[in-house]
Amino acid sequence: MSTKKSSAKPIGHAEHTKPSEFRGLPGKFRRPIKLTMMGAGSGFTPQLVKDLALTPGNMGGTIALVDIDKKRLMTMHQLLEKQIGFLGADNWKFTATTDRTKALPGSDYIVNCIEVSGLDCVRFDNDIPARYGIDQCIGDTIGPGGLFKALRTIPAWLDILADAERYCPEAIVLNYTNPMNMLCLAAGRTSSMQIIGLCHSVQGTSHLLAKRAGVPYEEMVWECAGINHLAWFTKLEHKGNDLYPLLFRKAEQDLAGKLVDKTDLDLVRKDMMLHFGAFITESSGHLSEYVPYYRKRKDLIKKYCRPRYDGESGFYVNNWPRWRAEYDAERLRKLKAKEFVLGERSWEYASWIIEAREKDVPTRIHGNVMNSLAEGEGKLISNLPADGCVEVACMIDDNGINPTRYGYLPPQMAALCDSNMRMFDLGATAAIEKSKEAAILALMLDPLTASVCSPAEIKKMTLEMFHAEKAFLKGYR
């Protein structure tokens, strides 16, 4: 993470966080680039590659595909060659390998989309905690499922970063893999690489709020800060008018059962907004796992949780295997199809970061970075732990990632973020040190787990999960 000071205020409005217009920045890239995709078989890869090819002024370059699953790697390679052909972007070339040390040398950017263990542990992550009364919707960023995904993933992630330090130390690393906070935290504590964690919840939620408020997105002014999946829109205005009174009224109606739009439920986030004073970035399903209020009793789940990303019990575990099979089938279908639906450039941040840096035209994104600045220079979010990872506005230019200071979050919002960060702290420690004890303590501090289980139950459950997933947890003691 760069510690260059920026004079920019962390206000993510109109000009540079509205990629729904898909316009590019002025100028041309200064050079062809090399980008290495780790976990190239990921569903993110076609979109990120297309975004880069559609970036105005790009000079092409090499995209090195890396995946340990050779079959998925080869399929993705063929698919991307076809996609680039339909785009007419013949200035981009591909390589493919299962050996990252062959791909990393000369890389300017590394995109991390790895998935460790595939489908082998998803049922353990959900079903073992469920026997202890812990009801998860997503279970991949916090809670028992999120912790064990971190314990499986972080060792592989840190090995990748160690190789990057040897082969391309000046590269910028863009991480898309969950659990976002724990991966970025572990990296920030152990690696010299410049790393930023990227999510799409800020972009998606800011557009959602403009729609709910009935205002043009490009005219809405907002500030957002916190941690990944628990960042707060502390300012939300249109032409100088606060939009929250309107959103509060609508939320009160929705929670009273007077839904105007029955496709727009999102009851957990609306309830949190009413009680804590601001809207939060991630879906109600994710959010319900980050706080101790909504998933600890069946009557609360029935009252606040709805299908799919709105809080459905076991939503990911019951659907992820099917989704993965469908993704693979869709890729094969696209390879055989004569037509190729391309779409337009997306609001995923990767191509916008690369464009801003290569053109040296400052742009603003929201990313996950370490909260501490250089020694003696303070913190990005003043009332959150200095050694934690936060999600704030960042300016991107030729110097790379330049996080901006937010200042103080309202205390009730900071307190909820802090409670999650204490769990992430121990979770990252557990993965770095291969410590079962730190993992047990992490779940004792997890808000959802602690709302349901006693310390003795948490320890027993954690050890049971270690035993069930031992094939993917080598070296833990």
Indicate which residues carry an active-site annotation: 200
Burial class (CB in 10 A: 0-12, 13-18, 19+), 93: middle
Distances from the Cα of 226 to the Cαs of 6, 159, 203, 205, 407, in angstroms? Answer: 19, 28, 15, 14, 11
From start to end of 40-101, where are the E strands? 61-66, 92-97
At residue 302, what is the residue type? K
* Residue-wise DSSP of 87-101: HT-TTEEEEEES-HH
Q: 97-106 burial string, b = 16+ CB within 10 Å, else e?
A: beebeebbee
Per the CB < 8 A criterion, the answer to whether 195 and 165 are in contact is no
Per the CB < 8 A criterion, the answer to whether 227 and 421 are in contact is yes
Closest by CA position to 77, among listed 62, 94, 61: 94
Question: What whole-number distance in Å separates Cα of residue 430 and Cα of residue 428?
Answer: 5
Q: What sign for the dihedral angle of Cα 360, 365, 369, 371?
A: positive
